[in-house]
Amino acid sequence: MAPITNGRTLFNEIPSGFPEPGKTTVYDTSKTIDLENVPLNGGVLVKTLVLSADPYMRVQMREADIESYMPPFIVGQPLGVGKILRSERDGFKPGGYVYGLLDHAEYSLPSPDVPVFGIRVFNPEPGLQYSAYVGAGGMPGQTSYYGWKEYANAKAGETVFVSGGAGPVGSLVIQLAKQDGLKVIASAGSDEKVQFCKDVGADVVFNYKTTSTLDILRQEGPLNIYWDNVGGTTLDAAIENAANHARFLECGAISQYNSKDGVNMKNLDQIYARRITLYGFLISDLAPKWEEEFYKVIPKKLASGEFKFREDITTGLENSGQAIRDVQIGANTGKKVIVVAQE
Amino acid sequence: MAPITNGRTLFNEIPSGFPEPGKTTVYDTSKTIDLENVPLNGGVLVKTLVLSADPYMRVQMREADIESYMPPFIVGQPLGVGKILRSERDGFKPGGYVYGLLDHAEYSLPSPDVPVFGIRVFNPEPGLQYSAYVGAGGMPGQTSYYGWKEYANAKAGETVFVSGGAGPVGSLVIQLAKQDGLKVIASAGSDEKVQFCKDVGADVVFNYKTTSTLDILRQEGPLNIYWDNVGGTTLDAAIENAANHARFLECGAISQYNSKDGVNMKNLDQIYARRITLYGFLISDLAPKWEEEFYKVIPKKLASGEFKFREDITTGLENSGQAIRDVQIGANTGKKVIVVAQE
């Protein structure tokens, strides 16, 4: 078979604000790949089926010499699901499925030692689409599950506030919290997202763009647990309404990723006064403890419908730049996935 | 014996900024007490020897309907050391010494159930002045010891930053950290305080009023542990220079007590990125676990000179309003104690 085009989305330029397709990212078809003969060097050749667009990507769009918890996003290595076409690696059989950091391309050759998330073989749960494995069944779902299990110390009857409740992390947190018998307050940025939070079981849901977060928390608090996906003034409002001994799970700060301005915090002194513990965490630290349990428990619940999730599908790798932007500006209506190819 | 004057310092008015003697607090000599005949109602009669002026007092100077971790400061109940004159209470013998919340007066009748800190009998360590029991041997020292033991998870070779390093809490933290083999960076607000931090063993000390905290932390970090006595932009600078998995002990926020303005924070998103845990704590929660060990270990080390401490003595209860103000504006040059009477 002759070499074929290997379409790629390349990272082109560091954005100063929100990423822009065609400028921050460009779609490129200049490279080809010979699927039968490309050397594997002990690794695998993977056909990309689904890629994921996630909020954390903005953190990677920076100068390479600025340190962070993720390596800089040089050419783009999103999380994705692929099918193994050829393999020289133990445990990776042709025809099997992998989840992990792939190239931002139609075909990739993930190195045996991909950093941070690595790559793992999984057996798809019958009835569960592959795309679920980059969402509720992948990194976002793992974030919810690992964080909740490790730090929430949830007790039935307590109150939790989940910001970004309609996202793939938040919506699973809502469901884990309801399973544990908590009262769940959730915020989201559109009426449609508010409805989704209600659909997955949140007790009190509000649109933070049209309703005062402070007013709601003053009415519905105090908070025993705050799952923070957004940072900024919402964190300040949560501190103001924290119960004594509250646990704050610091999972993300999307309100701050696209701005260099700081945020005015009025209530930081309440951290000690109310004996709040704030846990900053990343799933890479927690995976050794919780990963196997996650794969045993969560895909089954997603396949059966016991746990709900919602996807917002972009079709075609050439549209991934727009998908990345949509996640940053909050224009997606569910876990953003890019369907690159069918099997 | 006829009734005698029981001089008192009364809380007169809620301050809008720093407390002012004669306005926020007034010294009053209108009350008398009959030491031989005043009814004890099952309690004790205590002659005040030493009272303590502490930063937390500002938190109590508020409207009674504003909730906080300390009851409002109605007539003033500072921590103090006193001698028991008469007693109807088990375990409290006349001639013995007590430490705890006393009235802001020459004589008081502490109720058997004083809130928060309570009152305890102690046996003075030979060679250690009574005033030490409201400082390094009392609440401030307990704060250092309990917090360090419970949350620091210190490992030899790590780096800790202690803000407010010359205060009674900070200076004991410096010594506990050096004992554990850490590199200690400390900040203080005058050249004299800087010298004291050096005297107790800190490796790198700077005057935050004349030197950039950020510059020092960028040179001397990253920080594995931050002991936060001050809050505000210093906290933001510490977050910017935190190591991965840093522990932040949120002990106080004196930079914010006398202001209603918030603080501009630029680095809160690094809490999750660097997996920082911030522990807000109060000693009341930790006392059941650490109090007995504290009294076994610390007074001996203070008496022998192994652990150093420094006092700034105000003489006379009529001057306690100024002492309270001095602590809020940072004009004291050691643990502020008010010597009320000799035995």
Residue A38 near residue A65 (C-beta atoms within 8 A): no
Instruction: With respect to residue B293, please indicate whether it lies within any of the assigned structural domains.
Output: no
Q: Write down the number of H helices and E strands in chain B.
A: 10, 18
* A274/B251 CB distance under 8 A: no
* B262/A262 CB distance under 8 A: no
Q: Are residues A115 and A34 in the same domain?
A: yes
The mean predicted confidence, pLDDT, of chain B is 88
Instruction: With respect to residue B295, please indicate whether it lies within any of the assigned structural domains.
Output: no
Q: Are residues B13 and B131 in the same domain?
A: yes
**Helix or strand holding residue A159 (H, E):** strand A159-162
Closest CA to B63 of B71, B55, B53, B52: B71
* A257/B269 CB distance under 8 A: yes
- Residue A202's pLDDT is 98
Which residues does chain B have with pLDDT short of 50? 70-75, 115-116
Instruction: With respect to residue A289, please indicate whether it lies within any of the assigned structural domains.
Output: no
Provide the angle, in degrees to the nearest 10, between the axes of the packed helices A168-179 and A139-147: 40
Question: What single DSSP character describes residue B319?
Answer: G
The amino acid sitting at B263 is V
Interface test with A, best of B257, B269, B274 (most A CBs within 10 A): B269
Q: Which residues of B touch A275 (CB under 8 A)?
A: 69, 280-282, 285
Q: Are residues A171 and A242 in the same domain?
A: yes
How open is the CA angle A73-A79-A85, to the nearest 5 degrees? 115
Closest CA to B165 of B192, B132, B146: B192
DSSP B45-59: EEEEEEEE--TTHHH
Segments of B168-296 assigned E as strands: 183-188, 204-207, 223-228, 242-250, 263-265, 277-280
Instruction: With respect to residue B294, please indicate whether it lies within any of the assigned structural domains.
Output: no
φ, ψ for residue A225 (rounded to 5)? -135, 135
Residue A268 near residue A239 (C-beta atoms within 8 A): yes
Residue A194 near residue A206 (C-beta atoms within 8 A): yes
Q: Are residues A107 and A225 in the same domain?
A: no
- Residue B42's pLDDT is 83
Segments of chain B assigned E as strands: 4-5, 8-11, 25-28, 32-33, 44-52, 79-87, 97-101, 107-108, 119-122, 159-162, 183-188, 204-207, 223-228, 242-250, 263-265, 277-280, 311-315, 335-339
CATH number at residue B180: 3.40.50.720
ipTM of the complex: 0.76
Q: Are residues B10 and B131 in the same domain?
A: yes
Residue recorded with tokens 């990423």: A19
Residue recorded with tokens 């057996």: A123
Q: Are residues A104 and A185 in the same domain?
A: no
Task: Pick A268's closest partner by Cβ from B235, B269, B279.
Answer: B235
* B272/A285 CB distance under 8 A: no
Task: Pick B274's closest partner by Cβ from A69, A265, A270.
Answer: A69
Q: How many domains does chain B have?
A: 2
Q: Are residues A37 and A164 in the same domain?
A: no
Q: Which range of residues forms the domain containing residue A146?
A: 139-283
Instruction: With respect to residue A213, please indicate whether it lies within any of the assigned structural domains.
Output: yes
Q: Are residues B232 and B314 in the same domain?
A: no
Q: Are residues B9 and B126 in the same domain?
A: yes
- For chain A, 343 residues long, the average pLDDT of each consecutive 10-residue run is 87 82 85 91 88 78 57 61 91 91 86 65 92 94 97 98 94 98 96 95 97 97 96 94 98 69 88 95 91 95 96 92 88 89 89
Question: What single DSSP character describes residue A63?
Answer: -
- Residue A159's pLDDT is 98
Closest CA to B275 of A249, A64, A100: A249
Closest CA to A247 of B279, B285, B247: B279
Instruction: With respect to residue B218, please indicate whether it lies within any of the assigned structural domains.
Output: yes
Instruction: With respect to residue B297, please indicate whether it lies within any of the assigned structural domains.
Output: no
* A256/B250 CB distance under 8 A: no
φ, ψ for residue A290 (rounded to 5)? -115, -10
Q: Are residues B197 and B105 in the same domain?
A: no
Residue A320 near residue A338 (C-beta atoms within 8 A): yes
Task: Please give the C-alpha separations between residue A117 and each of A57, A101, A113, A190, in angstroms, as whole numbers.
Answer: 14, 7, 10, 31
Provide the angle, in degrees to the nearest 10, between the axes of the packed helices A213-220 and A232-240: 30
How open is the CA angle A219-A223-A228, to the nearest 5 degrees? 110
The residues on A that touch B, with CB distances below 8 Å, are: 59, 68-69, 231-232, 235-236, 244-245, 250-253, 256-257, 260-266, 268-282, 285
Instruction: With respect to residue A197, please indicate whether it lies within any of the assigned structural domains.
Output: yes
CATH number at residue A83: 3.90.180.10
Q: Are residues B120 and B203 in the same domain?
A: no
**Helix or strand holding residue A79 (H, E):** strand A79-87
DSSP A175-235: HHHHHTT-EEEEEESSHHHHHHHHHTT-SEEEETTTS-HHHHHHHH--EEEEEESS-HHHH
Q: Is residue B23 packed enough to be buried (19+ CB in 10 Å), middle (13-18) or exposed (0-12)?
A: exposed
Residue recorded with tokens 């689904």: A50
Token reading at A133: 């494995």
Q: Are residues A255 and A213 in the same domain?
A: yes
